[in-house]
A and B are shown apart, each in its own frame.
Chain A
Amino acid sequence: MPQASTKITARQVNGGIGILDIQGDISGFAENVLMDAYTQAATPATHTIILNFTGLEYMNSSGIGLLVTLLIRANRQKQRVLAYGLSEHYRHIFELTRLDGAISIYESEANALAAATAH
């Protein structure tokens, strides 16, 4: 059985910002990896979670479900979720699902960080 190859590293920037660097697939298989990375990234001081989709290879509806779950968790912690590095196709999918309303999309990490710190 093919296993999803998903690697997500969490890093902290400027204290209150957690960045999840996603490498590989966001599908149903990525659940544990994503949630673990989120737990790692989210400290009590975290106010913003930034998803780095530069390394995203494949995302399906289960993956979108995971993002919604992550969004719910982040909302509960009063954290904002931002994203950057999305390909045109997945931007389109974010628009279709209206996820782009809940997860603001930026061109680059610098833009996302600027938006996160400006807030």
Chain B
Amino acid sequence: MSAVGTSALASAAHWLLVCILCTLAYWVIGRLFFRCGRGSRVLFVLAAFCVAVAGAMVYAESHTFALQHPLLALPIQVVFLLIFYIFPDRRFTPTWARWLAILYVFSQLGTLSSGKQPQPPPQQISAILSSVPGLLGTLMVLGDMLAVTVIAVGILPQVYGRYRNLVAHSETSREPNRSGMLIGVCVSGCLLLLIVSALFTASTERSSSTVYLLARTTFYLLATLAPVAVAFALLHVPRLDRPALGRRTMVSSLFILSLLLIFAVCVAVLGLVVPGFAGFSALGYLPFVILIAVLLGALFRPLRAQIQDRVDQYVYPDRYRARHYIEAFHSSVRDGSGLDELGNQLITTIQKAFAVDALVLWLPTIPSHAQTPDIALRRLPGSGGRLDASITSIEIGAGDPLRPWLSAASRFLTVGRLPLDSAATRTLASADVAHLLTFVSQGVLTGTLGMGTRAPARPYTADDAELLMTLADELAPMLQTAAVAHRSELEARQRERVEQELQTARRIQESLLPKEVPALDGWRIATRYQPAREVGGDFYDFLALADGKLGVVLGDVTDKGIPAALVMATTRSMLRAVAMQPQVTPGQALAQVNDLLCPDLPSSMFVTCFYAIVDPATGRVIFANAGQDTPYLRRPDGSVGTLYATGMPMGLLPESRYEEGEATVAPGDELLFFSDGLVEAHKAAREMFGLPRLQRLLGSQDDATPPITMLLHELAEFTGPDWEQEDDITLVSVQRMSQPDDTGRSEEPAVQPDASEVSDGGYGTAWRTLDAWSVASVPGNEQQVIARVAQVVGSLGIAPARLEQLKTAVGEAAMNAMEHGNHFDPERLISIEVVTSQAQIAVRITDEGGPGAITAPVAPDLDAKLAGLQSPRGWGLFLIEHLVDEVHVSDDATHRTVELVMAIDDPTSSVPRS
């Protein structure tokens, strides 16, 4: 008996020693693996394979041992359970695998408690099969093997999940190496089979010592790798953290004790209720064991959670509070919260959870990707506590050794223990920041929480760190989303403000320009106002003076935007009020306005202005000038003179006097007033359009083309396609017709709203411009174009259905111009001109695309599209061509104009327009 006892004790000691040594060995291996091979796929697959196979082997060996020494096996089973659960790593032991483990262990315990001890077993599994008599032994061994296999296989998906996680955080590619995993799984499966079959072979052919030796060696080799799972679990704790280990050990011990207790009670109750339970046959006994194991399995999680909670509550109240605060935060925080809201919630939670008031949250000022070398962090306003007065922003350069620590994964760093010397850490340390919690989502730092020391010098335990890192992992993507939303909101608000201001200025300005040009017998007056992107201060005005005279004003306010628009409005009103007084000459009018403006205008602002009074009957013009470019007077013989007068711009010097000049506009003569936007336009090489060019162009102008059209065309030629208009361009042409009848205008009953130019447009019939404007090439702007065209055209009496067609066609043409002509470059504009003749309406849409066909390569065909032979898109031109009466395309070197023409009366309808 004593010999047996000694042998059993020696065997148990041997087994325990192997376990302990292996644990230590694997702790070292795992440590190395984590330090060097973080993200290495090969190493990871290797480790995964080891965990799977070795785990299975340890089980097999333990079973053999349990059969040999049932009484000694009991503590070893308990130790084994402890090892499995003290450091639970859910990544390696799925719940159902734990159930199986419990089933296994308790079936062993059941065997012991039933008093049916198996025969002294031989060394190998197959031998067990032959030596344990009856069905029970066979079932037990087969069941155990099944459990072993299932557990081994069950671990693999967990390892796979862990692997994915690892790859996602370390590599640029987020797709895991599936083939690598597959190979690992296959190899481990094959080895498992090989070893089991080798053991079988060895047991049946004991004499074949080579095979047996090989099998044993392989087995021990793999069994030595078993505790890698424990090593992983240990590595979960970044350093040997006694409080954390103590807490886990306490929780696990209590847990296992509770399980054993429940089991014992169950067996005792069964013994009382079922008579002769202890003496049951093997088959009758098994269902009870399974039933109890299932019961324990069901209790497993809630029981463990309960025990953990109670232990925390009474032994570790700090952790208990922290965990509850953080859990509450998890459940309340929502994706989509604002950045500041999220940040403040986080700070409040951590303040409460860890009783620390010194907390500061820094958020990246620019999106810092793993590739971006520098990190710039700004402090969340209001965060700081005791750290408030210290640092508001941190810059971490590419060369800073702290940099790599901030992008791999969310971490809890202790500033004083970082194995590096960096400017940033020194700054942090000087500001009493003891710990950093980094929030990293997909390799991008989305926030950093600086934490001061806790009030009573209580260190953060590994459990605290783990809690914080879990929180950081969950919160990092939310912070990222919130930061992106925050940034775009700020940008949008800024854009909106600027845009609103511009629009207000433009509205003020446009509302003050004359809605119509005066109709004078024998005279033709045309204007063109082309605002720059940023609203300037050009204005012009026509004053119907007493005795039928016409006042013409053209001015320019320095400055841009709303201030310019306001000064312009004021000047215009003053000039109107002053000039309308009887017998006020232009010089007097300018002088009076100057005196009125001087006290109110800021010193940096002034107004240039040219004011002329035209007597339509005689052609006599009296004028005065306040610093404005002098208008040109073109004679039919091609000579070009100026209406020369000098004077200071208004608003600079009080009591300025303005020289007056006088000229006569004979029939056929033409006056051109212009703002500096035209003559000061320059091309990329800084060459200005200039007065000489303007004078030359006017001199060589043919009579057929209206001067304004000609000048704008020449300007476009001069500046080229990429020109961005810097200043408003205003042109006013006052032409005295050589014969009173050819005005083409005196017959027209009334001036159309917004009509601003009369030109022949080169299309034979007389076209009148109803409206002209430009929009940026931004998708969606075509709807603005449609709306404005509809508004302009609405009064012409076009049939509603045809108006709809025109609207759709205009939208398509505008889209085409923005997309194909201007490539949706927001800096490039498309200009729209709505013109009308008596019978037709035309919309001209010009882009900066230059010459080129606008036709689609193939006509769209629905069947071909449905069959996948054509792109589903490409309907635009088709629609345009089918929705309007005519489409004309014209282009020059830099522009392409598509003109959509539609009859005002429906040509297909027999009912004439009333």
Q: Does B879 sit at the interface, judged by CB under 8 A?
A: yes
Q: Does A78 sit at the interface, judged by CB under 8 A?
A: no
Contact between chains at B815 and A97 (CB < 8 Å): no
Contact between chains at A92 and B875 (CB < 8 Å): no
Q: Does A43 sit at the interface, judged by CB under 8 A?
A: no
Report B-chain residues with C-beta under 8 Å of the C-beta of A60: 782, 808, 811-812, 815, 876
Contact between chains at B808 and A89 (CB < 8 Å): yes
CB contact under 8 A between A102 and B862, given known A29-B779, A62-B873, A93-B879: yes
User: Which residue of B783, B805, B876 is within 8 Å of A61 (Cβ)?
Assistant: B876
CA distance in complex: A28, B816 (Å): 13
Contact between chains at A89 and B875 (CB < 8 Å): no
User: Which residue of A61, A72, A89, A101 is within 8 Å of B868 (Cβ)?
Assistant: A72
Contact between chains at B882 and A96 (CB < 8 Å): yes
Report B-chain residues with C-beta under 8 Å of the C-beta of A1: 778-781
Q: Does B804 sit at the interface, judged by CB under 8 A?
A: yes
Chain A residue, CB-CB nearest to B780: A2
CB contact under 8 A between A88 and B801, given known A71-B866, A75-B866: yes
| Most-contacted residue by chain A among B784, B801, B868, B875 (CB, 10 A) | B875
CA distance in complex: A68, B867 (Å): 11
Contact between chains at A97 and B872 (CB < 8 Å): no
Nearest Cβ on chain B to A80's Cβ, whole angstroms: 13
CB contact under 8 A between A93 and B808, given known A61-B873, A62-B815: yes
Q: Does B874 sit at the interface, judged by CB under 8 A?
A: yes
CA distance in complex: A28, B812 (Å): 12
Contact between chains at B872 and A28 (CB < 8 Å): no
Report B-chain residues with C-beta under 8 Å of the C-beta of A2: 778, 780-781, 783-784
Nearest Cβ on chain B to A94's Cβ, whole angstroms: 10
Looking at chain A's contact residues, is the secondary structure mostly helix, strand, loop, or mixed?
helix
Q: Does A33 sit at the interface, judged by CB under 8 A?
A: no
CA distance in complex: A117, B786 (Å): 39
Nearest Cβ on chain B to A76's Cβ, whole angstroms: 10
Contact between chains at B779 and A97 (CB < 8 Å): no
CA distance in complex: A66, B873 (Å): 8
Contact between chains at B801 and A89 (CB < 8 Å): yes
Nearest Cβ on chain A to B783's Cβ, whole angstroms: 6
Q: Does A116 sit at the interface, judged by CB under 8 A?
A: no
User: Which residue of A4, A66, A89, A101 is within 8 Å of B862 (Cβ)?
Assistant: A101
Chain B residue, CB-CB nearest to A69: B872
Q: B-facing mask of A71-105, CB < 8 A → 1, else 0?
A: 11001000000000001110011001111011000
Nearest Cβ on chain A to B748's Cβ, whole angstroms: 32
CB contact under 8 A between A97 and B805, given known A1-B778, A1-B780, A102-B862: no
Q: Does B860 sit at the interface, judged by CB under 8 A?
A: yes
CB contact under 8 A between A58 and B783, given known A65-B875, A72-B872, A96-B882: yes
Which residues of B869-888 are within 8 A (CB) of A? 871-876, 878-879, 882-883
Q: Does A32 sit at the interface, judged by CB under 8 A?
A: no
Which residues of A39-77 are within 8 A (CB) of B? 58, 60-62, 64-66, 68-69, 71-72, 75
Contact between chains at B878 and A97 (CB < 8 Å): yes
Chain A residue, CB-CB nearest to B803: A89
CA distance in complex: A88, B799 (Å): 13
CB contact under 8 A between A97 and B783, given known A61-B875, A68-B872: no
User: Which residue of A25, A28, A65 is within 8 Å of B874 (Cβ)?
Assistant: A65
Q: Does A14 sit at the interface, judged by CB under 8 A?
A: no
Chain B residue, CB-CB nearest to A100: B862
Q: Does B116 sit at the interface, judged by CB under 8 A?
A: no
Report B-chain residues with C-beta under 8 Å of the C-beta of A93: 808, 879
Report A-chain residues with C-beta under 8 Å of the C-beta of B334: none
Nearest Cβ on chain A to B811's Cβ, whole angstroms: 5
Report A-chain residues with C-beta under 8 Å of the C-beta of B780: 1-4, 27, 29
Q: Does B90 sit at the interface, judged by CB under 8 A?
A: no
CA distance in complex: A4, B783 (Å): 10
Q: A-facing mask of B787-808, CB < 8 A → 1, else 0?
A: 0000000000000010011001
CA distance in complex: A28, B783 (Å): 12
User: Which residue of A3, A29, A96 is within 8 Å of B879 (Cβ)?
Assistant: A96
User: Which residue of A28, A64, A88, A96 is within 8 Å of B779 (Cβ)?
Assistant: A28
Report A-chain residues with C-beta under 8 Å of the C-beta of B879: 61, 64, 93, 96-97
Q: Does B493 sit at the interface, judged by CB under 8 A?
A: no
Q: B-facing mask of A1-36, CB < 8 A → 1, else 0?
A: 111100000000000000000000101110000000
CA distance in complex: A109, B208 (Å): 84
Contact between chains at B801 and A61 (CB < 8 Å): no
Report B-chain residues with C-beta under 8 Å of the C-beta of A29: 779-780
Report A-chain residues with C-beta under 8 Å of the C-beta of B812: 60-61
Contact between chains at A102 and B866 (CB < 8 Å): yes
CA distance in complex: A3, B779 (Å): 9
Chain B residue, CB-CB nearest to A75: B866
Report A-chain residues with C-beta under 8 Å of the C-beta of B497: none
Q: Does B820 sit at the interface, judged by CB under 8 A?
A: no
Q: Does B865 sit at the interface, judged by CB under 8 A?
A: yes
CA distance in complex: A92, B807 (Å): 14
Nearest Cβ on chain A to B375's Cβ, whole angstroms: 31
Q: A-facing mask of B584-623, CB < 8 A → 1, else 0?
A: 0000000000000000000000000000000000000000
Report A-chain residues with C-beta under 8 Å of the C-beta of B804: 87-89
Which residues of B12-63 are within 8 A (CB) of A? none
Contact between chains at B872 and A66 (CB < 8 Å): yes
Chain B residue, CB-CB nearest to A60: B811
Chain A residue, CB-CB nearest to B881: A96
Contact between chains at B873 and A72 (CB < 8 Å): no
Chain A residue, CB-CB nearest to B811: A60
Nearest Cβ on chain B to A23's Cβ, whole angstroms: 16
CA distance in complex: A93, B883 (Å): 9
CA distance in complex: A72, B867 (Å): 8
Chain A residue, CB-CB nearest to B826: A1
Contact between chains at B865 and A68 (CB < 8 Å): yes
Nearest Cβ on chain A to B862's Cβ, whole angstroms: 5
User: Which residue of A3, A65, A89 is within 8 Å of B872 (Cβ)?
Assistant: A65
CA distance in complex: A97, B879 (Å): 8
Report B-chain residues with C-beta under 8 Å of the C-beta of A66: 872
Chain B residue, CB-CB nearest to A65: B873
Report A-chain residues with C-beta under 8 Å of the C-beta of B876: 60-61
Nearest Cβ on chain A to B89's Cβ, whole angstroms: 39
CB contact under 8 A between A64 and B875, given known A101-B862, A102-B862: yes
Nearest Cβ on chain A to B169's Cβ, whole angstroms: 30
CA distance in complex: A73, B459 (Å): 60
Nearest Cβ on chain A to B339's Cβ, whole angstroms: 22
CA distance in complex: A66, B812 (Å): 15
Contact between chains at B866 and A68 (CB < 8 Å): yes
Nearest Cβ on chain B to A44's Cβ, whole angstroms: 22
Chain A residue, CB-CB nearest to B871: A65
Report B-chain residues with C-beta under 8 Å of the C-beta of A98: 862
Nearest Cβ on chain A to B285's Cβ, whole angstroms: 49
Report B-chain residues with C-beta under 8 Å of the C-beta of A96: 878-879, 882-883
Report B-chain residues with C-beta under 8 Å of the C-beta of A99: 862
Report B-chain residues with C-beta under 8 Å of the C-beta of A101: 862
Chain A residue, CB-CB nearest to B781: A2
CA distance in complex: A76, B815 (Å): 31
Which residues of B850-903 are within 8 A (CB) of A? 860, 862, 865-866, 868, 871-876, 878-879, 882-883
| Most-contacted residue by chain A among B778, B805, B812, B872 (CB, 10 A) | B872
Nearest Cβ on chain B to A24's Cβ, whole angstroms: 11
13 A-B pairs (CB sep. < 8 Å): A2-B780, A2-B783, A58-B786, A60-B811, A60-B812, A61-B878, A64-B875, A71-B866, A97-B860, A97-B862, A99-B862, A101-B862, A102-B866
Report, nearest first, the 9 A-B pairs whose CB atoms are least far apart: A65-B873, A61-B875, A68-B872, A89-B804, A2-B780, A61-B876, A69-B872, A65-B872, A98-B862
Other 12 A-B pairs with CB < 8 A, given A1-B780, A61-B812: A2-B778, A60-B812, A60-B815, A61-B878, A61-B879, A65-B874, A66-B872, A92-B801, A93-B808, A96-B879, A96-B883, A98-B862
- A-side residues, CB < 8 A to B, are 1-4, 25, 27-29, 58, 60-62, 64-66, 68-69, 71-72, 75, 87-89, 92-93, 96-99, 101-102
